[in-house]
A = this chain, B = another copy of it.
Amino acid sequence: MKVTLALLAVLAAPVETSAPYAEAAGRILEAERTDGQAWAILQHLTDRIGPRLSGSPGAEASVVWTLERLRSWGLDARTEPVIVPRWVRGIETAEVVAPVSQRLVVTALGGSDPTPPGGVTAEVVEVRGFDELKSRGEAVRGKIVLFNRAMRAGFGGPEGYGSVASLRTRGAIEAAKLGAVATLLRSIGTASLRTPHTGLMNYEEGVPRIPGAAVSAEDADLLHRLLASGEPVRVRLELTCRSEPDVPSANVVADLRGREKPEDVVLIGAHLDSWDLGTGAIDDGAGVAMVMETLRLLKALGLRPRRTLRGVLFMNEENGLRGAIAYAERHKDALARHVVAIEADSGAARPTGFGVSAGPGGLERVREIARLLEPLGATEVTPGGGGADISRLRPAGVPLLGLLLDPTRYFDYHHSPADTLDKVDPAELARGTAALAVMAYALAEMPDVLPRLEPAPREAR
Q: In the assembly, what is the distance between CA of A191 and CA of B418, in Å?
A: 11
Q: In the assembly, what is the distance between CA of A420 and CA of B222, in Å?
A: 9
Q: Tell yes or no: A451 within 8 A of B by CB.
A: no
Contact of A412 among B48, B193, B420 (CB under 8 A): B193
Q: Tell yes or no: A260 within 8 A of B by CB.
A: no
What residues on B are CB-neighbors of A51 within 8 Å?
A: 103
What residues on B are CB-neighbors of A421 within 8 Å?
A: 221-222, 225
A100 closest partner in B (C-beta): B48
The 8 A CB mask of A401-439 against B (1 = contact, 0 = none) is 000000000001100111011100000000000000000
- A residues 46-86 in Cβ contact with B at 8 Å: 47-51
Most chain B Cβ neighbours within 10 Å, of A43, A105, A193, A422: A193
What residues on B are CB-neighbors of A278 within 8 Å?
A: 194
Contact of A194 among B43, B50, B417 (CB under 8 A): B417
Q: Tell yes or no: A226 within 8 A of B by CB.
A: yes
The 8 A CB mask of A84-128 against B (1 = contact, 0 = none) is 000000000000000111110100000000000000000000000
What residues on B are CB-neighbors of A148 within 8 Å?
A: none
A194–B102 touching, CB < 8 Å: no
What residues on B are CB-neighbors of A418 within 8 Å?
A: 192-194, 218
Once A192-B193, A194-B416, A417-B194 are accepted as A-B contacts, the answer to whether A221 and B422 lie under 8 Å apart by CB is: yes
Once A193-B191, A422-B218 are accepted as A-B contacts, the answer to whether A47 and B226 lie under 8 Å apart by CB is: yes
B417–A193 touching, CB < 8 Å: yes
Q: Tell yes or no: A195 within 8 A of B by CB.
A: yes
A225–B47 touching, CB < 8 Å: yes
Q: In the assembly, what is the distance between CA of A260 and CA of B417, in Å?
A: 59
A417 closest partner in B (C-beta): B194
Q: In the assembly, what is the distance between CA of A99 and CA of B417, in Å?
A: 21
A43 to chain B, nearest CB (A): 7
A102 to chain B, nearest CB (A): 5
Q: In the assembly, what is the distance between CA of A41 and CA of B191, in Å?
A: 27
A183 to chain B, nearest CB (A): 22
A181 to chain B, nearest CB (A): 24
- A residues 33-52 in Cβ contact with B at 8 Å: 43, 47-51
A400 to chain B, nearest CB (A): 32
Q: In the assembly, what is the distance between CA of A101 and CA of B225, in Å?
A: 41
B100–A47 touching, CB < 8 Å: yes
The 8 A CB mask of A192-209 against B (1 = contact, 0 = none) is 111100000000000000
- A residues 187-243 in Cβ contact with B at 8 Å: 191-195, 217-218, 221-222, 225-226
The 8 A CB mask of A149-192 against B (1 = contact, 0 = none) is 00000000000000000000000000000000000000000011
B50–A102 touching, CB < 8 Å: yes
A413–B193 touching, CB < 8 Å: yes
Q: In the assembly, what is the distance between CA of A51 and CA of B413, in Å?
A: 26
Q: In the assembly, what is the distance between CA of A89 and CA of B279, in Å?
A: 27
What residues on B are CB-neighbors of A413 within 8 Å?
A: 193
Q: In the assembly, what is the distance between CA of A191 and CA of B221, in Å?
A: 21
What residues on B are CB-neighbors of A221 within 8 Å?
A: 420-422
A416 closest partner in B (C-beta): B193
What residues on B are CB-neighbors of A218 within 8 Å?
A: 418, 420, 422
What residues on B are CB-neighbors of A420 within 8 Å?
A: 194, 218, 221-222
B222–A47 touching, CB < 8 Å: yes
A99 closest partner in B (C-beta): B48
What residues on B are CB-neighbors of A222 within 8 Å?
A: 47, 420-421
Q: In the assembly, what is the distance between CA of A51 and CA of B222, in Å?
A: 13
Most chain B Cβ neighbours within 10 Å, of A192, A217, A416, A420: A420
A193 closest partner in B (C-beta): B418
B101–A50 touching, CB < 8 Å: yes
Q: In the assembly, what is the distance between CA of A448 and CA of B345, in Å?
A: 69
A–B pairs, 20, beta carbons within 8 Å: A47-B100, A47-B102, A47-B226, A48-B99, A50-B100, A50-B101, A102-B279, A192-B193, A192-B418, A193-B193, A193-B195, A193-B412, A194-B420, A195-B195, A218-B420, A218-B422, A221-B420, A221-B421, A222-B421, A225-B421
Ranked 4 nearest A-B pairs via Cβ: A193-B418, A194-B417, A193-B195, A193-B193
A47-B102, A218-B420 are known; give 4 further A-B pairs, CB within 8 A: A49-B100, A192-B418, A193-B193, A222-B420
